[in-house]
């Protein structure tokens, strides 16, 4: 292969890119040292006891970006701070890179094989070298792939091929409650031609992927109230309405025997994926033995007439995340509870409206309330689904860059998950997002012994070098 490679790159540009890639390789040990330093900071955003650590992590990132020559500022919010760093060279294009420095709690601590914030090298059963620590994959390791790519580019050329804005928040793992207000007040700082997110995964350990769609989300909590206090189940049992029974009946009625959601109008706005996309998905041979077996399951439980990959990527869902009511302590307490609560979440697809779905759910519940019961609702902020235009030139450029690095055509897939910030970038800033990550299904994200493959870190950094060059 020549330095010009096969993507039409000029020989001079190809030679320069290879010099930068050589710099990434030569600096890998130093990059890993910086990553380990970042991972040692216990920046758990959900725990107020770690608020100082979150500020430390924000400052660590800000110092690293300043060292790279970016104009950097740590912005306070009502919660944890955000970091914004920019270059302003007058380049033809600007990209916005988003990531987060906060991490999940570490419970249960006893299942960790080493300290969660004592990063170490490990090895998988099949011999892959790994980095083990909380945040290794989600999202500190992924953030550092991008920052280390910037480092290598600047070390060789002194400047970047595009202007870059780096935007790091510290509340992604607790729902980003401070982010909407920050975007409303300071959104002009983030204007760009394209956003990049490195908080997703690869198709497999050898095949890169670009996430081209995300489901939206609408969380709702419903509480059913019956009697005005907990009742003695011996004295009142058989006569008094039990809110747990009522809630269970309503929740059970929300799906039919074929796995379809039964809320009236729920599927009215659902956009079908194009036939060529469905054909490409079918060719992936993505079955339950690949996806469900590792978590101890074997039978897809979604819509019976849909492929498994459709069930998790392009179809909307209603899931019960928790139900509680009455006595839940040790032993027996014979009561009929006054209240019962369910926490549900809807994963939405284009072009579903979160507010419309929430209203449909509330109407569904109220229509099934028996006498002597009332329902109250609370809901978090919803976000719409996101889709990348399959004809996007930037999608094609990034795909070619990934193929050049990994030697395999990247898989273009949607994600069943939701990243609300991506929708906000579209709604508030008017820009599309490419989601390019290097995590793997076995990274144990949000679980004990979280890891990030060393290859993911190394080739992820090299990939960003190629992508930034391609986007110029």
- Closest of 199, 94, 180 to residue 431, by C-alpha: 94
Looking at the structure, tell me whether residues 188 and 324 fall in a common domain: no
Looking at the structure, tell me whether residues 150 and 36 fall in a common domain: yes
pTM assigned to the model: 0.81
Residue 292: inside a domain, yes or no? Answer: no
Give pLDDT, residue 133: 98
Looking at the structure, tell me whether residues 126 and 204 fall in a common domain: yes
CA 315, 321, 325, 329: dihedral to nearest 10 degrees?
150
Give pLDDT, residue 2: 37
Looking at the structure, tell me whether residues 181 and 209 fall in a common domain: yes
- Closest of 117, 145, 28 to residue 450, by C-alpha: 117
Tell me the CA end-to-end span of the chain in Å, nearest whole number.
Answer: 23
Looking at the structure, tell me whether residues 132 and 191 fall in a common domain: yes
Tokens of 256: 């039919």
Residue 156: inside a domain, yes or no? Answer: yes
Q: Which of 321, 345, 379 is the last residue of a domain?
A: 379
Give pLDDT, residue 414: 82
Give pLDDT, residue 389: 86
Rounded CA separation 36/117 (Å)? 9
Rounded CA separation 74/59 (Å)? 7
Looking at the structure, tell me whether residues 246 and 143 fall in a common domain: no
Looking at the structure, tell me whether residues 96 and 206 fall in a common domain: yes
Residue 57: inside a domain, yes or no? Answer: yes
Domain with residue 267: its CATH number is 3.30.70.360
Rounded CA separation 263/220 (Å)? 14
Task: Per residue of the chain (472 residues), give pLDDT as tens.
Answer: 333 344 556 677 889 999 999 999 999 999 999 999 999 999 999 999 999 999 999 999 999 999 999 999 999 999 999 999 999 999 999 999 999 999 999 999 999 999 999 999 999 999 999 999 999 999 999 999 999 999 999 999 999 999 999 999 999 998 889 998 999 999 999 999 999 999 999 999 999 999 988 899 999 999 999 999 999 999 999 999 999 999 999 999 999 999 999 999 999 999 888 888 888 889 887 899 988 998 899 999 999 999 999 999 899 999 999 999 999 999 999 999 999 999 999 999 989 999 999 999 999 999 999 999 999 999 988 888 888 888 899 999 999 999 999 999 999 888 888 887 888 898 888 999 999 999 998 999 999 999 999 999 999 999 999 999 999 9
Largest separation between any pair of C-alpha atoms in the chain = 87
Output the CA–CA distances (angstroms, integers) from residue 58 to 54, 64, 72, in the order listed: 6, 10, 11
Contact by Cβ (8 Å): 368, 253: yes
Residue 305: inside a domain, yes or no? Answer: no
Looking at the structure, tell me whether residues 455 and 396 fall in a common domain: yes
Residue labelled with tokens 């897809």: 300
Residue 375: inside a domain, yes or no? Answer: yes
Domain count, the chain: 2
Do you find a cis peptide bond into 351, omega within 30 degrees of 0? yes
Residue 268: inside a domain, yes or no? Answer: yes
Domain with residue 201: its CATH number is 3.40.630.10
DSSP helix, strand, coil percent of the chain (3-state; round to 5): 40, 20, 40
Looking at the structure, tell me whether residues 207 and 223 fall in a common domain: no
Rounded CA separation 183/188 (Å)? 8
Beta strands in 37-192 (DSSP E): 71-75, 82-86, 94-100, 120-123, 129-132, 163-169
Range of the domain at 81: 11-214+385-471
Q: What number of other Cβ atoms are within 10 A of residue 150's Cβ? A: 24
Residue 236: inside a domain, yes or no? Answer: yes
Rounded CA separation 379/344 (Å)? 10
Q: What number of other Cβ atoms are within 10 A of residue 25's Cβ? A: 12
Give pLDDT, residue 6: 41
Q: Which of 345, 379, 413 is the last residue of a domain?
A: 379
Rounded CA separation 45/101 (Å)? 9
**Crossing angle of the two packed helices 454-471 and 28-39, in degrees rounded to 10:** 110
Q: Which of 344, 379, 414 is the last residue of a domain?
A: 379
Residue 5: inside a domain, yes or no? Answer: no
Looking at the structure, tell me whether residues 249 and 115 fall in a common domain: no
Tokens of 37: 């330093």
Give pLDDT, residue 5: 44
Looking at the structure, tell me whether residues 191 and 153 fall in a common domain: yes
Looking at the structure, tell me whether residues 60 and 170 fall in a common domain: yes
């Amino acid at each position: 292969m020549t330095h010009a490679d096969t993507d039409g790159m000029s020989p001079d540009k190809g030679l320069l890119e290879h010099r930068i890639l050589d710099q990434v390789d030569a600096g890998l040990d130093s990059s890993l040292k910086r990553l380990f330093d970042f991972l040692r900071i216990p920046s758990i955003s959900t725990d107020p006891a770690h608020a100082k650590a979150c500020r430390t992590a924000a400052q660590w990132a800000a110092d690293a970006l300043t060292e790279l020559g970016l104009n950097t500022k740590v912005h306070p919010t009502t919660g944890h701070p955000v970091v914004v760093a920019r270059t302003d060279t007058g380049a033809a294009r600007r990209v916005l890179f988003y990531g987060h420095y906060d991490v999940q709690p570490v419970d249960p601590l006893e299942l960790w094989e080493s300290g969660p914030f004592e990063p170490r090298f490990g090895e998988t059963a099949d011999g892959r070298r790994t980095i083990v620590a909380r945040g290794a994959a989600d999202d500190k390791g992924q953030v550092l792939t991008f920052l280390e790519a910037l480092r290598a580019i600047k070390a060789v050329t002194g400047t970047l091929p595009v202007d870059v804005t780096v935007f790091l928040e510290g509340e992604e793992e607790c729902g980003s409650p401070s982010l909407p207000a920050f975007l409303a007040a300071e959104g002009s700082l983030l204007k760009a031609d394209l956003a990049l997110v490195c908080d997703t995964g690869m198709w497999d350990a050898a095949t890169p992927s670009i996430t081209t769609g995300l489901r939206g989300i609408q969380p709702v909590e419903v509480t059913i109230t019956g009697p005005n206090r907990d009742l003695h189940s011996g004295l009142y049992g058989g006569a008094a309405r039990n809110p747990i029974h009522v809630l269970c009946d309503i929740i059970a009625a929300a799906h039919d025997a074929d796995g379809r959601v039964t809320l009236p109008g729920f599927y009215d706005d659902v956009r079908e994926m194009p036939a060529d996309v469905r054909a490409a998905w079918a060719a992936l041979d993505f079955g339950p033995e690949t996806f469900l077996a590792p978590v101890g399951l074997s039978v897809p439980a979604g819509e019976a007439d849909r492929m498994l990959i459709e069930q998790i990527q392009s179809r909307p869902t209603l899931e019960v995340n928790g139900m509680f009511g009455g006595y839940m302590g040790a032993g027996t307490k014979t009561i009929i509870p006054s209240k019962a609560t369910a926490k549900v979440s809807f994963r939405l697809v284009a072009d579903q409206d979160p507010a419309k779905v929430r209203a449909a759910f509330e109407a569904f519940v109220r229509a099934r309330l028996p006498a002597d019961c009332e329902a109250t609702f609370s809901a978090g902020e919803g976000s719409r689904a996101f889709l990348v235009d399959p004809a996007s030139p930037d999608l094609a450029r990034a795909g070619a860059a990934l193929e050049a690095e990994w030697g395999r055509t990247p898989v273009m897939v949607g994600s069943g998950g939701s990243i609300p910030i991506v929708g906000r970038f579209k709604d508030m800033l008017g820009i599309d997002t490419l989601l390019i990550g290097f995590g793997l299904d076995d990274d144990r994200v949000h679980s004990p012994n979280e890891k990030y493959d060393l290859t993911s870190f190394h080739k992820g950094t090299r990939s960003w070098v190629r992508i930034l060059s391609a986007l110029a």
